[in-house]
Structure 1
Amino acid sequence: MTRYMAGKMAKLDIPPIPEFIEMIADTGAGIYACKASVDLFELTKNDLIDQVQGIITVGEFYEHAAGSQIIYT
């Protein structure tokens, strides 16, 4: 991340990305990677941060989210 971006985030009181990820992980909501994106960039689970619980398809995401409010897709 550039200094410019870090400064903008600090100004908006957005925590640094590692802290933000920990905050999300602590909610118990789960962090998942998009299978299409992982495949596109030829990544594996080993390339991702430890907090990523799995690599799932869009259909699997909607199954996990059933009955919940989806904010970002």
Structure 2
Amino acid sequence: MCLALPARVVALLDLETATIDLGGIRKKISIALVPEVQVGDYVIVHVGHAIGMLDPEEAEATLKLFAELAA
């Protein structure tokens, strides 16, 4: 089973690396598979790699659901 999480891009470090924010945790990830990503975009992250982009409304709804499940 694979698990990928939505996260917001907060900084582009170079052409293939970005910093994401996932619930207050910041992590450096590869964006080689989504080179069109910009700061503020939401991506799906799997084992340190952005594997796709998400619509902001969909990402926020998913993050809200995760927060409700954690409570």
Normalised by the size of structure 2, how large is the TM-score? 0.27
The structure where strand makes up a greater share of residues is: 2
Normalised by the size of structure 1, how large is the TM-score? 0.27
Higher relative contact order (CA 8 A, sep 6+): 2
